[in-house]
Structure 1
């Protein structure tokens, strides 16, 4: 190490005495400053070009590689000048001359630049590969959905032709099958037909050489139109949006695809989001482990460079270890947060969007960083900020991990004059009706179930039966005897934590309707002193006893039949 320091001292002495090295050093310094200034102008100019939005990965690659390329050219040129001037020196014997040491320093700078550039280009390549993989997944979904809502002119059937089966499915007789095959509308009906097990019938025959590439070209054309509408003023805000503006006003093609996924592949309207939304979405995207690639690769280059300079790595390692211990104590909490972040990402304890309960705070994971974790309250009342290290040192209840479904539970009290078995059968009826009828804004059932109700009408499943469901639904229990009422519980499992609230609200409405229809009485929370009225109430209730018995015979008493 001392030898290396001495070499650098000899170079500094030579810079004060040798005119050629002073000229080389000055040229290098001015050249680097000029390149940086020009690069900043050029980089900002690229961000305003359409190329930066339609080919974002290539744009990032160019911006990351351009500055190092010019720096390498400059350093190599200066290095060549230094080595040429050395030829004309008289003293070429003995130890390395200052010119040789200076040339070695310039070569080291080249290696540092190459290492830095490589470490930043590799993550760009990885992100491009991930984007290509996600694009193929989008294509599979597009094929399953028979096209997206923003396709033009029945684009799906320009790529694929549906070929009917030779024999009708088990759910359809031959006469009906032949009748549907004779008309265009009938063939469309058969194409959308699903068997009682949820399977499609027929096959899709490609009409083009490469369906994926044709679809990808179509998606790029959609984005081209989106970009054109943004920059021409033909958008929601009615004015021209500026590429490269701060905050960003236009989605890049990758952000545009991500936004479509969040919207279940509905069209993305130009200018529908406020300025800065695209940049904010990019900031909130979870950081992958690829963000740790640059420092790892760059560290490897630096170690190789030190070996080239004959630095004793054992001595250096010992010194760094001692320094690391001191820094470790000073940055104890910071390092704990960093390693906790790595553990959370590696083990997938939770991810952005999961519903969690941490120290009695119930909400959604908003953002995880190497220092702090943001949890957004379920009712958007507040955002809790936890040190990331606390996430691995405390009890975390994850409602979204593995099996995302949770029970929607309601409690109901009825009069002692009603038969509890009949009440249970009515609640079973309500639960089964709710499982079929209660859907979200996209038509997807809230309840998870073994078989999607849409399949009964030979329509595609909405996805409510894609989860592993091994419980009986609805689950009805006679819970307790209370002072004023017989207490019952009804459980219906829904697909995620947030869906239970809509399910419970709709269940209560349906229970009220069915109880009113069957004269199942919900008592007031007061003490009632009967003075001959009990006989009258019993007679009134008996009037609809046949209807209640009919419901009981059809739906049974739920869990009560197990006892």
Structure 2
């Protein structure tokens, strides 16, 4: 088989050897080839200038996929036109019709024409291999835009919408029956006012479902949403370009490092910031580029290589080389290469499996067999980076190892984490009164504990902002079915204290620590207010007057009983009975 390959190659070599003789025999052919070479060089130089020019134009930011398509297609278009024109000129003139040409020269002329056609095919293949990823990226971004529309509907509009866009596109239809958790009279009263209806729109049931439904006021709300988002981006771009931004200067498009977000990056930044408005010029130059430089490579970045290799194999077959024979002849090399790349291929297929089955994705919190607990930072075809949940370190693990090991995914379907505070109180305090005060502590923490953006950290059935007729901050999105919190438990009779615990569910792993701190602060204030005592953990003989101390504590019994009446004691004591 190897001999067959060598025969084909030697035959082609003979034909190629005759091409220089053929070119030397015709001045017109030499001129045509010189025009071809000079033309290609000129096209490349002109293309580089054109590509740099397009990067500085507004449409590269507002229509990035079209701009990439133009940059990819313009060079091959002119190159193909030039090569085809030279080929047609050579074939249609009498350059190859001279009867004095020898058989070898006739063969060389066919090889020469075939070579020009091969160049055209390779250029076309190269172009297609780069256009397909652009089209796939466009489809992906369009799907993300539809997901943004879904989030926009769920949030009842974004903060930077103009003139209450949501209610210009949708009308809320109230439910016929009173929703769960609402009094009939209260429900009817809310329906009578605009503010009351807005509150009902944002209300969720205990299962996390909205009430009522929405009816379209326009034919295609999604198109109106896209138009609104593009108008917002136009304003963002114009503010960047005009100098009406946080930096106070005119930001230049096409600048290195990049100072203005393209519309796709602009949308992505909004997603990462919970759809808050993007402030022009608020980030340093190159911020988005640095932020994305470590992201894993997409399959679309290696797709052009695969397509072009397929084109090359097709061209090789067209030249008469048997691909089976070629593969057999290079089999030894392929086996050696496969052994050398064995671990690389294992990592790559593990990467594909993780992506396909969605075992975990970037942002999930997982725990490894080594008890390392952290967030998946990025997944690559070689290694996976996991950031410690408390930002202490990074774990760098070969991707193939994650497929063959046991992993606990804390973010799969459910991201909530309990924030638990334990406390011991004096035996002289009434346990029911203590439980009621702890319920009060938990409810205050649910409403008052927020992050730096004012968003509640505790997951809730209904966002407290709805009480102020404001949109939910998202704390009621990850609702656990039949969630009833805060949860208070009387844990045990300890040596020196009655031990209780109180917990609420927070939105992610890191939030529990701030919530625990805030609950302890609120607990301290409430214990001081109601004289709930925390005993000293000491073993010395206590010579106090217990009767007197009990009388002191009993003075505030009525106040503490009012807390029981207002807040209850959770589910403590339910289901019990007397003998």
Give the TM-score of the pair, scaled to structure 1.
Answer: 0.86
Give the superposition deviation at 1:89.
4.9
Distance in 1, Cα, partners of 2:497 & 2:229: 60
After the TM superposition, which residues 156-167 of structure 1 pair with which residues of structure 2 at under 5 Å, given as runs?
A: 156=166, 159-160=168-169, 162=171
1:102, 1:133 → 2: CA distance? 47
Separation (CA, whole Å) in 1 of partners of 2:81 and 2:102: 27
Q: Which residue of 2 aligns with 1:508?
A: 520
Deviation at 1:263, TM superposition (A): 2.2
Which of residues 378, 399, 413 is equivalent to 2:424? Answer: 413
Of the three residues 518, 523, 532, the one matched with 2:535 is: 523
Could you tell me which residue of structure 2 aligns to residue 137 of structure 1? 147
**2:8 alignment partner in structure 1:** 4
Please name the residue that 1:424 is paired with.
435
Residues 482, 320 of structure 1: CA spacing in aligned structure 2 closer, same or farther, 3 A cutoff? Answer: farther
Offset, 1:530 = 0.9
Q: Is the 8 A contact 1:83 1:100 kept in 2?
A: no
Give 1:461 deviation, angstroms. Answer: 5.0
- 8 Å CA contact 1:255, 1:282 repeated in 2: no
Q: Match for residue 400 of structure 1?
A: 411
Measure the CA separation in 2 of the matches of 1:89 and 1:376: 76
Contact 1:248 1:276 in 2 (8 A): yes
Q: Displacement, 1:503?
A: 1.7
Partner of 1:74: 82
Give the number of equivalent residue pairs: 557
1:247 aligns with 2:257: yes
Q: Deviations over 1:243-293 (max 9, x none)?
A: 111111110111111112222222211110100012234435554443343
The structure-2 alpha-carbon separation of the partners of 1:130 and 1:556, relative to structure 1 and needing over 3 Å to count, comes to: same
CA separation of 1:27 and 1:446: change in aligned 2, threshold 3 A: same
Alignment of 1:540-551 (within 5 A): 540-549=552-561, 551=563
Is contact 2:19-2:109 (8 Å) kept?
Answer: no
Return the alpha-carbon distance in structure 2 between the equivalents of residues 306 and 98 of structure 1.
18
Deviation at 1:56, TM superposition (A): 0.4
Change (3 A) 1:89 1:154: farther
**1:426-461 deviations in whole A, cap 9, x for unaligned?**
323333443344344555443334455566777765
CA distance in 1, matches of 2:176, 2:575: 44
Matches within 5 A, 1:151-300: 151-156=161-166, 159-160=168-169, 162=171, 186-187=193-194, 189-194=196-201, 197=205, 199=210, 204=215, 206=217, 210-285=220-295, 287-300=297-310
Q: Please name the residue that 1:57 is paired with.
A: 65
Mapped partners of 2:513, 2:186: distance in 1: 46
The question of whether the paired residues in 2 share the 8 Å contact of 1:196 and 1:456 is answered with: no
- How far apart are residue 506 of structure 1 and its match? 1.7
Name the SS for the 1:428 alignment partner. helix
**Aligned partners of 2:186, 2:398: CA distance in 1, in Å?**
68
* Residues 1:367 and 2:374 aligned together: no
- Rounded Cα–Cα distance in structure 1 between residues aligned with 2:533 and 2:175: 57
How many angstroms apart in 2 are the aligned matches of 1:505 and 1:381? Answer: 20
Query: 1:191·1:202 contact (CA, 8 Å) conserved in 2?
Result: no
Structure 1 runs not aligned, ≥5 long: none
Contact 1:400 1:497 in 2 (8 A): no
C-alpha RMSD of the superposition: 3.5
Question: In 2, are the aligned partners of 1:422 and 1:551 still within 8 Å (CA)?
Answer: yes
CA distance, structure 1, for counterparts of residue 53 and residue 342 of structure 2: 42
Q: Shift of residue 323 of structure 1?
A: 2.0
Contact 2:463–2:476 under 8 Å retained in 1 = yes
Paired with 1:537 and 1:178, the residues of 2 have a C-alpha distance of 50
In 2, Cα distance between equivalents of 1:12 and 1:130: 46
Aligned to 2:133: 123
Q: Secondary structure at the match of 1:511?
A: helix
CA shift, 1:132, in A, is 2.0
Q: Structure 1 524/174 Cα, relative in aligned 2: closer, same or farther at 3 Å? A: closer
Contact 1:229 1:235 in 2 (8 A): yes
Please say if 1:113 is aligned against 2:127: no
Q: How far apart, CA to CA, are the structure 1 residues paired with 2:247 and 2:70?
A: 32
Q: Distance in 2 between matches of 1:523 and 1:445?
A: 33
Q: Secondary structure at the match of 1:410?
A: strand
Residue segments in structure 2 that go unaligned for 5+ positions in a row:
none
Q: 1:414/1:96 Cα in 2 relative to 1: closer, same or farther (>3 Å)?
A: farther
Which residue of the partner structure matches residue 42 of structure 1?
Answer: 50
Do the aligned residues in 2 keep the contact of 1:229 with 1:270 (CA within 8 Å)?
yes
Note the alpha carbon deviations across 1:36-76, whole angstroms, 9 max, x for none: 22222221121111121111010011111112212222322
1:23, CA displacement in angstroms? Answer: 5.5
